[in-house]
Amino acid sequence: MSLAETYSTDQLSLSFELFPPKTEAGEKALFRHVERLVEFKPAYITCTYGAGGSTQGKTLDIVARVRETSGLPVATHLTCVNRTADQLAQYLTEARARGVDNVVALRGDPPKGEDAFVATEGGFRYANELVGFIREQFADMGIAVAGYPEKHLEAPSMDVDLENLRRKVDAGADVVITQLFYENADFFAFRDRCTTLGINVPIVPGLLPVTNFAQIQRITSLCGAKLPQAFVDALQSAGDDEAAQFDTGVEFATRQMEDLAKAGVPGIHLYVLNKSEAASRVLENLGMGSKA
């Protein structure tokens, strides 16, 4: 099923996002979690593409193995960082040969130590250019792009950012997957503005169930997502009790996802951070899967 078709039914489509583990032990553990996640019958599974080089080769290995072992559609993330158009084409040729039919097409963040993104000579400046390139050279591949309910950190305003999102969709993206967020009102406002602008591809909220307060503070400080004060208070009142922090995060994610599902979102993309416990608890709470 193509990425566009995935969201053409009335059912909420689930997708999970993994990242390439750095060690063999990490990879073994990941595939145990993937086995559990597959029980929830996701529409597809994606794997991020590291900005820093060393894990880039791993992304394809991970998605190809998920595809082989689960039979599910998969998507490789791909960024323009340090890559020429020829190198990106080579990567996509290999991806397709290995049964990877979908791409999450991104510009990427500036490499560590650099303040601003600088396009590689012979490469691309913005994700819309990568999307146009893929649509032209790999016409049958499904393409997802990133959307930012709280605005991309570099964008001068939401209006400008949304115009740029429209460029990606006009260039041929099938689906928008959002950055993680914790205020559904921000997502609904974003979705409404997309509709007004004529961005009429499925807009899929990306959710990261919080499992650890320190970790989510780090992540949100990097991507700019805000945590509601009541949620911060609840996490803080759990103190050093990791199980209590986990339970608080699962409860919040359950309510957040329930609210989004009620509002008719076409799917939910879960940033599972290579684990299955939190996602499983949330999905079981919502009656979306049997207990293991």
Assess 244 for contact with ligand FAD (CB under 6 A).
Answer: no
Among 29, 126, 183, 285, binds ligand FAD (CB under 6 A): 126
Please say which residue, 10 or 121, places its beta carbon nearer to ligand FAD. 121
Q: How far apart are CA 224 and CA 235, in angstroms?
A: 19
CA–CA distance, 261 with 16 (Å, rounded to integer): 16
Tokens 């999970």 correspond to 16
Q: Binding to ligand FAD by residue 207, rule CB under 6 A?
A: no
Compute CA distances 192 → 91, 166, 217, 234, 268, whole Å: 35, 14, 28, 30, 17
Asked if residues 177 and 146 have their Cβ atoms less than 8 Å apart, the reply is yes
- Point out which span in 5-13, 31-39, 126-134, 213-221 binds ligand FAD (CB under 6 A): 126-134
Query: In the bound complex, what is the minimum distance in angstroms from residue 236's beta carbon to ligand FAD?
Result: 27
Site for ligand FAD contains 120 (CB under 6 A)? no
| Of the candidate residues 51, 85, 119, 286, the single one contacting ligand FAD (CB under 6 A) | 51
Which residue in the set 37, 100, 127, 175 belongs to the binding site for ligand FAD (CB under 6 A)? 127
| Contact in structure between 122 and 86 (CB atoms under 8 Å) | yes
Q: Catalytic residue at 17?
A: yes
Binding mask 166-205 for ligand FAD (x = CB under 6 A): -xx--------x-x--------------------------
Catalytic residue from among 17, 68, 136, 163: 17
Q: What is the DSSP letter of 112?
A: T
CB < 8 Å & 24+ apart, contacts of 272-277? 272/16, 272/17, 272/18, 272/33, 272/37, 273/19, 273/208, 273/211, 274/18, 274/19, 274/21, 274/26, 274/29, 274/30, 274/33, 275/33, 275/211, 276/33, 276/34, 276/36, 276/37, 277/211, 277/246
Q: How far apart are CA 159 and CA 78, in angstroms?
A: 26
Q: How many residues bind ligand FAD (CB under 6 A)?
A: 25
- Piece of the chain touching ligand FAD by CB under 6 A; list 160-168, 211-219, 235-243, 251-259: 160-168
Among the listed ranges 37-45, 93-101, 102-110, 278-286, the one in contact with ligand FAD (CB under 6 A) is 102-110
Residue 88 in contact with ligand FAD, rule: CB under 6 A: no
Measured from the CB of residue 124, what is the shortest distance to ligand FAD in angstroms?
A: 8
E strand segments, the chain: 13-18, 44-47, 74-79, 102-106, 142-147, 175-180, 203-207, 267-271
Among 20, 42, 73, 108, binds ligand FAD (CB under 6 A): 108
Nearer to ligand FAD by Cβ, of 206 and 245: the residue is: 206
106 binds ligand FAD (CB under 6 A): yes
Active site residues: 17
**Binding-site ranges for ligand FAD (CB under 6 A):** 48-49, 51, 77, 79, 104, 106-109, 126-128, 146, 152, 154-155, 160-161, 164, 167-168, 177, 179, 206
